Every structure is written in C-alpha cells, then in structure tokens.
Chains A and B, each alone.
Chain A
Amino acid sequence: MKLSERAAEAIHSALKEAGINFVVNLPDSWMRQLIGRLRSDVEMSFVTVTREEEGVGVASGAFLGGRRPALVMESSGLGNSANALSSLNLVCKVPILIIASYRGGIGDNAYFSSGTRITEPLLTAIGVPHLVVRDRAEIREAVLSSQMTAQAQKVPVALLLCKSVLWEE
C-alpha cells in the first residue's frame, strides 16, 4: 500500500471548491502529498505552526480577518487543541474547518496512537461536530458540506480521514 495521490488531489480540489484560502498546518505523515499541493497553491495562504492548539488560534484569527481557514493536522492534534476548540471556536462562534488524518484505527501500525479510541468521544464531549470519511469517493461531499455547516452554524467542524481514504493499493 502507498499514500494516495488521488486522495490528495481530491481533498485539494474539494477545499478550493469550498472556498478555503488559508491553510494552517502541523505536518503529519499521512498527508504528505496534500501538504505539498497546498504549499504550492499560490491562491492559498499557508502557515506552519509549532503546535495544533496554536493553529486553532491562527486559523481563528484568519477567519476574523475575512479568510476561509482550514486546519490540517493529525487526529492527535485534536487532543492538543481541545480546550481552544471548546473555548474559542465554540463559545465565541468562530467557524474553522479541520482536516485530520484519523490515526490509531485497525490497520494503523503506530502502536502509540490511541487516536480512534479517544478522538470521537473527545470531540463529542467538547461539542465539536465531526464526520468520519472512509471512502475516497465521499471526499468532495464531506468537505463541501462540512464547510457549509461550519459557516452556517458558526462552529468548528472536524473531518476525520481514515486510512482507507488516504492510502491505496
């Protein structure tokens, strides 16, 4: 199996179609090609942060300044961002789209990654709407409807991209 170039392309074009123009990122292993595409995209601002929680702040500031942000990270970063998402984004009603590679599931050999055991319960506990994407074919609709929901309801929305999306034979 290898990382899917088609998935990277699909996510990139869905983000553009959704109007995303400001990307905040802490690099993760499963989204290498996507990060490369986003960095090279001249229509997208791209900021690398030192911690995902910091990224929540930058993305939120970008929203306040009229941009359409996406925070791209590994699912473990959601734990690092939990309080910021619940205090800043949810209470102050600042929408941001979060694209997260969903680590720790069946088929992930990273033994230290408890991602799937804690991520969804965590997001539910802090009140962040989220969607698990299991099939590459779902990407476009997932991104467009998540961004629409974020903007309309004024909430952060997290898309959790499974191994089956980001990897292919």
Chain B
Amino acid sequence: MKRFDALKVLSQMLREELVVTSIAGVSAELFHVCDRDLNYYGNHCMGLASSVGLGLALALPGRRVIVLDGDGSLLMNLGSLATIANENPPNLIEIVFDNECYESPGLWPTATAGPTDLAAIGKGAGIKNSLTVGTLEKFHETLSKALAADELYLIVAKVEKGLAPVPPMTIDVTENTYRLLRALVQRGLIEEWRERDKRKEMGNKDS
C-alpha cells in the first residue's frame, strides 16, 4: 500500500485525536491530506515522535494520541518502545509507516529491509498489541480495532517507497507548537500557558 493512501484512510477515521508525526515524508503528506489544529508535525528532530507522543498521552489521559512514525525514525529511538511499554498508556497508538528505507536522502535501506522486525521488537519491549499490516484493508481494520479499544497499540504498516507529489508544507514548526497549544486551550484541555511570576515575596505586586 502507499503511505499516502493509508493517510487518506486514517483521515476519514480521525475525530478529536491528537496526531504527532515523524520527520519528512509522512509529515508533508499528512499536511496535504488533512491538516488540522490537533496535528503536531515532527520536522524538528528525527526520532522523537514516539517520545513526544508518549509525553502527550500521559499528560492528556482523556485524549487519544496517534503517532505517525517512520522506520528510520523509530530505529533511532528504540528505547522509547521499552519506556512506552512500561508506562502502558491506553490512549496511545503508535503507527509506523515502514517503507524499509531512508526516503529523503535517496531511498537507502534501513534495518527493516533486512531481518529487523519492528512489531517483534515492540512485542519484546512489552507492547502486547504489536502487529504488522501489509494492505490498506488490514490497515483500516486494525486501526478501527485500536481506536475502539482502550489499549496501547503498535501498528507497523508496510508501505511502498516514495513520497507522493505533494506541495511543500506551509506551517512553521514554531507556529505549529503554538497552534496546538492554542487548540488545546480552546478545548479546555490545558490552561492558558502564559503565566506571571507569582512570587509576591519578591516584591512583584502585579500577579
């Protein structure tokens, strides 16, 4: 299946979930397919999508968090699977679009092009619901199950190599941070983040 088509399937299923992406292809494609104020595009730092997703899921236990990771990105931060398994947040779904390559620099193979099996690593890390899907139908079926369940899921979606011909993203990473925060404030999920120095004993009378 193509990652772009899987994202279209995903976008039909999204309601109020927070979505965190990894770097590069998945980010640009998701932006084109469905940009929304609950998306956080991870173009800042390869490898941290799973960890940012965990932090969000733990901070907002009443909200579903979906991470759209890549194989190269997750391989950079395999330890995060152990941490995620131990924290076991029921509201986190880690989806890995595994195209078995480092796409942006020229489709060079990653470890998953060889014997490395990310779902097996996830199971070994302790994530009970770790599985691999290879078709759009299976992707849809598994994601439906995960969205209906109250359990941690790792879904490794094997996808074809290649970036869909999408236009460049028109959101800045800094803008994205504050758009997400503002969206969460507006939904009453987090407090307004601006704060005054509340230390009256230091002589600040205006707090």
Chain A 35-52 per-residue mask, 1 if CB under 8 angstroms from chain B, else 0:
000000000010111110
A57 touches B58 (CB 8 A): no
Contact of A88 among B44, B53, B77, B180 (CB under 8 A): B44
B56 touches A92 (CB 8 A): no
Q: What's the least CB distance linking B147 to chain A, in Å?
A: 19
Q: Name the contact of B77 in the complex, choosing from A57, A62, A94 (C-beta under 8 A).
A: A57
Complexed CA–CA distance, A153 and B194 (Å): 10
Q: Are B80 and A54 in contact (CB under 8 A)?
A: yes
**A118 contacts chain B at the CB level, 8 A cutoff:** no
CB of B200, distance to nearest CB on chain A (Å): 12
A49-107 CB contacts (< 8 Å) to partner B:
49-51, 53-67, 69, 83-84, 87-88, 91-94
Bound Cα distance from A83 to B44, whole angstroms: 10
Q: A56 vs B79: C-alpha distance in the bound complex, in angstroms?
A: 13
Contact, CB under 8 Å: A92 / B177: yes
Contact residues in A for B4 (Cβ distance below 8 Å): none
Interface residue? A144 (CB, 8 A): yes
**Central interface residue in B177, B191, B199, by most chain A CB within 10 Å:** B177
**Does A13 belong to the interface (CB within 8 Å)?**
no
How far apart sit A51 and B60, CA to CA, in the bound complex (Å)? 23
Q: Which residue of B lies closest to A94 (CB)?
A: B177
A50, A58, A66 — which one has the most chain B CB atoms within 10 A of its CB?
A: A58
Partner of A64, one of B47, B55, B87: B55
* Neighbouring B residues of A45 by C-beta, 8 Å: 58-59
CB-based contact A66/B190 at 8 Å: yes
CB closest residue in chain A, given B190: A66
Min CB distance A103 to B, Å, is 22
Q: Is the interface of B mostly helix, strand, loop or mixed?
A: helix
Q: Is B108 in the interface zone, CB < 8 Å from A?
A: no
In the complex, per-residue mask of A12-31: 1 if CB is within 8 Å of any chain B CB, else 0: 00000000001010000000
Q: A91-B174, A93-B177 are in contact. Are A59 and B55 (CB under 8 A)?
A: yes
Q: Are A50 and B44 in contact (CB under 8 A)?
A: no
B181's partner among A24, A64, A152 (CB-CB below 8 A) is A64
B54 CB-CB contact with A under 8 Å: yes
**How far apart are the CA atoms of A56 and B45 in the complex, in Å?**
11
Would A87 and B59 count as touching, CB distance under 8 A?
no
- Is A33 part of the contact surface with B, judged by Cβ < 8 Å? no
Chain B neighbourhood of A55, CB < 8 A? 51
- Residues of B65-118 contacting chain A, CB below 8 A: 77, 79-80, 82-83, 86-87
- Which residues of chain B come closer than 8 Å to A62, judged between CB atoms? 55-56, 58-59
**Bound CA span A53–B86, Å:** 18
Q: Are B199 and A144 within 8 A (Cβ)?
A: yes
Residues of A within 8 A of B47 (CB): 53, 57
Return the chain A residue nearest B79 by Cβ. Answer: A50
Chain A residues within 8 Å of B87, by CB: 47
Residues of chain A within 8 A (CB-CB) of B174 are 91-93
Q: Once the chains are docked, how many angstroms separate the CA of A165 from the CA of B111? A: 45
CB contact under 8 A between A66 and B184, given known A91-B44, A91-B173, A151-B193: yes
B195's nearest neighbour on chain A, judged by CB, is A151
Q: How far is the CA of A146 from the CA of B181 in the complex (A)?
A: 22
Give bound CA distance, A152 to B197, whole Å. 9
B-contacting residues of A (Cβ < 8 Å)?
22, 24, 45, 47-51, 53-67, 69, 83-84, 87-88, 91-94, 144, 148, 151-152
9 residue pairs, one from A and one from B, having the closest CB atoms: A61-B55, A65-B59, A57-B51, A66-B190, A50-B79, A57-B48, A61-B52, A62-B55, A58-B55
